[in-house]
Structure 1
Amino acid sequence: MRSRSVRATWEEGLRCTVDAGGFPLTVDEPRSVGGSDRGPQPTDLLLASVSSCFTVALAYCAARQGVELVDLRVTATGVYDGPSFASVRIEVSSGCERAALRQLITAAEKVCYVTNTLRRAPDIEIALAEERNRADTP
């Protein structure tokens, strides 16, 4: 079974830097909740993962079906319910024909890793990392 890891390193306050496949991302909270507003908040990144993965899935399916995409946009909106989203709505718009777009959406739903992961509610395990010798710590 393949796996993928992304590492976050705390910087200060409510801000951290995330190494996502060699691409650094700054994640923070808004000032209204104690952050410094230097980057998107984690829930925005979750919605970004949903909208970007579904966009890529649509483009993949369009290429396989020979459909030319015109001005494709995917918006993911989460509705808060306490410390989680109660629902996420994905809205797809494009200048291509609506019937073709509906077919692409159906196909994309089958191959989008992020939406499939959220639908299947994966087990989440939180564990304490193995202790390293302090001399080995960078």
Structure 2
Amino acid sequence: MADKTYKVTATKGESAVVTVQARNHSIVIDEPAGQGGTDMGMNPVELLLSSIASCLALTLSIYSEAMGVKAQNIEIGVEGLIDSAGMKGSRKASPGLKKIQVTVNAQSNVEPETFQQVVDLVLLRCPVEDSVAHGVAFEEPIVNIRQI
């Protein structure tokens, strides 16, 4: 199967508001009011965690069905721990997430051990989780400047 390219464009608005466009869809990203934003949407870290959770939920639905395992009322919780000192410039802390914890809740027709096997396969097949867990190469940014 050939490689597939995904593309989004983020446009900075007023305050901390950023609108992200993908295909014909858009989402508003913002910071909480106490952190310089207007709380009109999730912050970027919450959006990253949401991407992991939604990809895991969809992948779990697909693979459980393919394996003949009923999975209903799927709820994926994703929690990330971050040291805010890193975002504020401390050299003693990384600005990125330190760890991520995933919790899977669902109803199923199989024993927990069997369902865990499905979840283990999902963790191997989910592209968003894999990208975050194993890293991805970042190319040098292309910077285009227009004079104001």
TM-superposed deviation, 1:70: 2.3
**2:106 maps to 1:94:** yes
CA distance in 1, matches of 2:4, 2:70: 32
Q: Does 1:80 align with 2:79?
A: no
% same residue: 27
- Equivalent positions of 1:4-83 (< 5 A) are 4-81=6-83, 82=86, 83=95
Deviation (angstroms), 1:41 = 0.5
Q: 1:40 Cα deviation (Å)?
A: 0.7
What is the alpha-carbon root mean square deviation over aligned residues? 1.8
TM-score (norm 1): 0.88
1:124 is aligned to: 138
Runs of 4 or more consecutive aligned structure 1 residues displaced over 6 Å after TM superposition? none
1:99 positional shift: 2.1
Does the residue aligned with 1:18 lie in a helix, a strand or coil?
Answer: strand
Structure 2 residues without counterparts, runs of 5 or longer? 87-94
One-letter amino acid matched to 2:9: R
- Unaligned stretches of 5+ in structure 1? 133-138
Q: Which amino acid aligns with 1:15?
A: V
- TM-score scaled by length of structure 2: 0.82
Aligned to 1:113: 127
Q: Equivalents in 1 of 2:18, 2:51: separation in Å?
A: 18
